[in-house]
């Protein structure tokens, strides 16, 4: 795989049982690139390691006044320099390719997992951790995968040079062979502590990232309540903790680096001292001493890769563990499905609660528990958080359909929809049936003032479709974001549209017009709206009331207000005392048609808003 071939047609199925297993899976899936990097690494390191031999031959030729051997040494040195340059160039090229392709594979896997899990992902894993995995952790995982082949080439070179020195000059070769394992293994006792400090730094950095993400996401609310200073102080303390942890980690790694410099220096001094003694005794020639000295000096270069691989593994292991944790998450239902791909149509029915949304009608659902309403909305779209009885669409279980088919048939807009940055035209450029034009959807969602605000805030944008939306729509109010998200959902024109509190941040008069526009634009299509707004409920073809997870009443809004006390308590925010009072009035006898004062006022306000709309 080359960089220009990215993205992968299929990134594969990762081994997410643990961090090390995930790293090994990545390495195996890049075996061709790793072998290529290993080959270029061997050429590079072998060329570097051969330079001392060339220098030794040249020195000995000069001592012996042999012009032929001196020319031979010069030719060998030129050849080694060419091999060094070519090997280093292509080693770097292949190593960077391995790094980028490994990181790209992980990002693709994370992206697909996020698309499959949907909103369930952030319920199981903190949003800050997901951000940390998809940014910094991806780079560190790629670093280790890339460094592994270079380390292997360096290790092979060190072993080969050591064996060569034993054969070339046994007296000094024994000293080198005894000292090199000490150099390679000296840092091992320090690695566990360095790894723990790196883990602490990663953990604190993840917390700081999560805190920063949450603060930015809620900045508008924080400013409204004057809490931005409080959260700023929290983030300042978190960032200071990250700084202290980073300094502690850096101290340990600087100690490891110092050991990697000190011990080779001591070995070099030992070789020179012992070699001089041997040369004085006439046991070795000057050229042999220069060769051994140069070999030991140049071996410090491949030995640095021992430190690098230790650092890469220490930093990538917690990153791989976090990535594996995210990638190991599974949907409650099978993504591939057991049925053939199809887009069913008909009534939407949930056997678990008894909820039925007839085909082609606008059904409003009232549920006193907002969290239960959110879970039911996800289940209606085939995105159940846990296994259970499947929702039926036209008698077809959604859980048995492939995920793409289920999402094509039923679109769920949760209560906190996300607006991606870009132009308004790009926001509305979504897979759709083509039956609903973007401008018709914007008009039905009452986005006229939103368009004006976007044009005013975008320099040089005369057409609202060219106006830019900031990240997550943070420059817009909550109601404006809701209306744009509703327009995006209306453009898709799915067979079934499920909306969870789509107008909770919109004023009453705008909400009444949205209710009218939604009913008109979705005429003949199945629409389910989770809401407690009287304006939307009064416009619905039928209202379903759920209590403790079960359907207990079905009818029109005004009928249910008068006949179902629990429904009225949820919709009108009636207190327990008012509910008891209303129950007492009804108990006075049959035929009593008395309405609580708060309910009468709510009905009068509803009629006034309807007349205005």
DSSP codes, 529-587: EE---HHHHHHSSEEEEEETTEEEEEE-HHHHHHH-HHHHHHHTT--HHHHHHHHHHHT
Question: Which 8-state DSSP code applies to residue 137?
Answer: I
Residue identified by tokens 């939307």 is 536
Q: What is the pLDDT of residues 164-192, one digit of tens each?
A: 888 888 888 888 888 888 887 787 788 88
Tell me the three state secondary structure of residue 120: helix
Residue-level pLDDT at 597: 47
Q: At what angle do helices 19-28 and 138-168 cross, to 10 degrees?
A: 70
pLDDT digit string (tens) for 89-127? 999 999 999 999 999 999 999 888 888 887 777 677 766
Q: Bridge-partner residues for 527, per DSSP? A: 362, 497
User: Is the pLDDT assigned to residue 437 strictly greater than 60?
Assistant: yes
213 has a pLDDT exceeding 80: no
Do 515 and 534 meet the contact criterion of CB atoms below 8 Å apart? no
Helix axes 19-28, 31-64, angle to 10 degrees: 80
pLDDT at position 167 is 86
pLDDT value of position 90: 94
pLDDT tens per residue, range 407-435: 888 999 888 888 888 888 888 998 888 88
The per-residue pLDDT for 587 is: 47
pLDDT band at 214 (very low <50, low <70, confident <90, very high): low
Contacts of 462 (CB under 8 A, 6+ apart): 455
CA 61 to the chain's CA centroid: 62
Pair type for strands 396-397 and 542-547: unpaired
CB 405 within 8 A of CB 342: yes
List, for residues 573-599, the tens digit of each pLDDT value.
765 455 555 555 444 444 434 445 455
* 542 φ/ψ angles, rounded to the nearest 5 degrees: -155, 150
Give the global pTM. 0.71
What mean pLDDT value characterizes the chain?
A: 83
pLDDT value of residue 545: 95
Across 277-298, average pLDDT: 80
Q: Give yes or no for a contact between 136 and 308, defined as CB atoms under 8 angstroms apart.
A: no
Closest to 391 (Cα-Cα) out of 421, 450, 350: 350
Question: Which residues does residue 551 pair with via DSSP β-bridges, in sequence order?
Answer: 546
State the burial class of residue 220 (Cβ atoms within 10 Å of its Cβ: 0-12, 13-18, 19+).
middle
What is the reported pLDDT for 606? Answer: 53
Mean pLDDT score, 137-156: 89
> Of 582, 565, 572, 574, nearest to 606 (Cα)?
572
Exposed e or buried b for every residue in 464-503, given b needs 16+ CB within 10 A?
Answer: bbebbbeeebeebeebbbbbbbbbbbbbbbbbbbbbbbbb
Q: Is it the case that residue 532 has pLDDT exceeding 80?
A: yes
What's the longest Cα–Cα distance across the chain?
129
What HEC string does 225-279 produce?
A: HCCHHHHHHHHHHHHHHHHHHHHHHHHHHHHHHHHHHHHHHHHHHHHHHHHHHHH
Higher pLDDT, 132 or 201: 201
**Does position 150 have pLDDT exceeding 60, yes or no?**
yes
Report how far Cα 68 is from the mean position of its chain's Cα atoms. 64
Which range (7-16, 49-58, 264-273, 504-513) has the least confidence? 49-58
- The label of the residue with tokens 């292997």 reads 152
Q: What is the pLDDT of residue 476?
A: 81
Residues of the chain above pLDDT 70, percent: 88
- The 10s digit of each residue's pLDDT in 44-86 is 988 888 887 887 788 878 878 888 888 988 898 899 899 999 9
Residue-wise pLDDT for 2-60, tens only, equals 787 888 888 999 999 998 999 999 999 989 999 999 999 999 988 888 887 887 788 87
* Structure confidence at residue 201 (pLDDT): 83
Q: How far apart are CA 15 and CA 23, in angstroms?
A: 9
pLDDT attached to residue 216? 65
pLDDT at 307 > cutoff 80: no
Per-residue pLDDT, 215: 66
Q: Which residue in the block uniquely carries the two structure tokens 């309910």?
A: 599
Q: What is the pLDDT of residue 363?
A: 95
Between CA 145 and CA 266 the distance in angstroms is 32
Cα 331 from Cα 117, distance rounded (Å): 6
Digit-coded pLDDT (tens) for 599-609:
555 555 555 55
Interstrand relation of 396-397 and 392-393 (parallel, antiparallel or unpaired): antiparallel
For every residue of 202-215, DSSP letters joined together read HHHHHHHHHHHHHH
Contact assessment for residue 56 and residue 297, using Cβ atoms and an 8 Å cutoff: no
Query: From the CB of residue 431, how many other CB atoms can be counted at a distance below 10 Å?
Result: 10
Minimum mean pLDDT among 135-139, 207-211, 300-304, 564-568: which range? Answer: 207-211
Instruction: Write the pLDDT tens digit of every residue in 227-237.
Output: 667 777 888 88
Tokens of 497: 């549209």
What phi and psi, each to the nearest 5 degrees, are found at residue 545?
-110, 125
Residue 451 makes CB contacts below 8 A (sequence gap 6+) with: 424, 442, 464, 467
* Residues whose CB is less than 8 angstroms from the CB of residue 432 and which lie 6 or more positions away in sequence, other chains included: 491, 492, 493
DSSP letter at 389 equals P
Give the pLDDT confidence score for residue 109 in this predicted structure. Answer: 92
- 31 C-beta neighbours (distance < 10 Å), count: 10
């Amino acid at each position: 795989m080359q960089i220009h071939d990215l993205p992968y047609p299929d990134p594969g199925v990762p081994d997410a049982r643990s961090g090390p297993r995930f790293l090994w899976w990545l390495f195996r899936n890049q075996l061709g690139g790793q072998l290529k990097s290993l080959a270029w690494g061997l050429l590079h390191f072998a060329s570097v390691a051969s330079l001392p031999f060339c220098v030794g031959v040249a020195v000995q030729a000069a001592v012996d006044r042999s012009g032929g051997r001196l020319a031979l040494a010069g030719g060998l040195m030129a050849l080694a320099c060419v091999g060094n340059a070519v090997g280093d160039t292509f080693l770097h090229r292949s190593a960077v390719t391995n790094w980028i392709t490994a990181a790209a594979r992980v990002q693709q896997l994370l992206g697909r997992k996020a698309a499959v899990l949907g909103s369930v992902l952030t319920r199981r894993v903190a949003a800050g951790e997901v951000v940390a995995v998809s940014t910094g952790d991806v780079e560190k995982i790629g670093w280790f995968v890339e460094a592994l082949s270079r380390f292997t080439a360096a290790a092979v070179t060190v072993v080969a040079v050591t064996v060569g020195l034993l054969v070339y000059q046994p007296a000094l070769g024994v000293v080198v062979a005894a000292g090199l394992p000490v150099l390679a293994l000296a840092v091992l006792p320090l690695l566990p502590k360095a790894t723990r400090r790196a883990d602490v730094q990663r953990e604190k950095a993840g917390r700081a990232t999560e805190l920063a993400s949450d603060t930015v996401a809620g900045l508008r609310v924080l400013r409204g309540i004057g809490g931005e200073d409080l959260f700023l102080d929290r983030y300042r303390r978190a960032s200071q903790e990250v700084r202290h942890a980073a300094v502690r980690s850096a101290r340990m790694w600087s100690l490891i680096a110092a050991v990697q410099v000190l011990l080779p220096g001591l070995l070099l001094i030992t070789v020179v001292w012992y070699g001089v003694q041997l040369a004085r005794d006439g046991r070795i020639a000057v050229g042999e001493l220069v060769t051994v000295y140069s070999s030991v000096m140049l071996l410090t270069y491949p030995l640095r890769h021992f430190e690098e691989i230790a650092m890469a593994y220490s930093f990538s292991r917690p990153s791989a563990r976090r990535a594996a944790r995210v990638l190991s998450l599974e949907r409650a239902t099978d993504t591939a499905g057991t049925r053939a791909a199809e887009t069913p149509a008909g009534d939407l029915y949930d056997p678990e609660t008894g909820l039925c949304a007839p085909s082609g009608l606008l059904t409003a659902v009232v549920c006193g528990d907002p969290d239960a309403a959110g879970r039911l909305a996800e289940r209606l779209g085939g995105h159940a958080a846990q296994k259970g009885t499947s929702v039926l669409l036209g008698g077809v279980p959604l859980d048995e359909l492939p995920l793409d088919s289920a999402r094509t048939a039923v679109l769920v807009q949760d209560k906190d929809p996300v607006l991606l940055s870009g132009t308004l035209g790009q926001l509305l450029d979504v897979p759709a049936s083509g039956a609903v034009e973007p401008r018709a959807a914007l008009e039905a969602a009452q986005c006229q003032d939103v368009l004006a605000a976007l044009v005013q805030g975008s320099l040089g944008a005369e057409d609202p479709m060219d106006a830019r939306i900031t990240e997550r729509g943070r420059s817009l109010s909550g109601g404006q974001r809701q209306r744009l998200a509703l327009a995006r959902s209306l453009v898709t024109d799915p067979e079934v549209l499920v909306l969870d509190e789509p107008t909770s941040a919109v004023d009453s008069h705008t909400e009444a017009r949205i209710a009218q526009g939604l009913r008109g634009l979705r005429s003949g299509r199945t629409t389910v709206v989770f809401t407690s707004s009287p304006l939307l409920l009064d416009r619905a073809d039928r209202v379903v009331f759920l209590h403790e997870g079960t359907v207990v009443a079905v009818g029109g809004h005004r009928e249910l207000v008068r006949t179902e006390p629990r429904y009225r308590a949820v919709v009108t925010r009636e207190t327990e005392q008012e509910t008891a009072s209303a129950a007492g009035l009804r108990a006075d006898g049959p035929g009593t048609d008395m309405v609580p004062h708060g309910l009468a006022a709510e009905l009068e306000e509803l009629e006034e808003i309807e007349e205005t709309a």
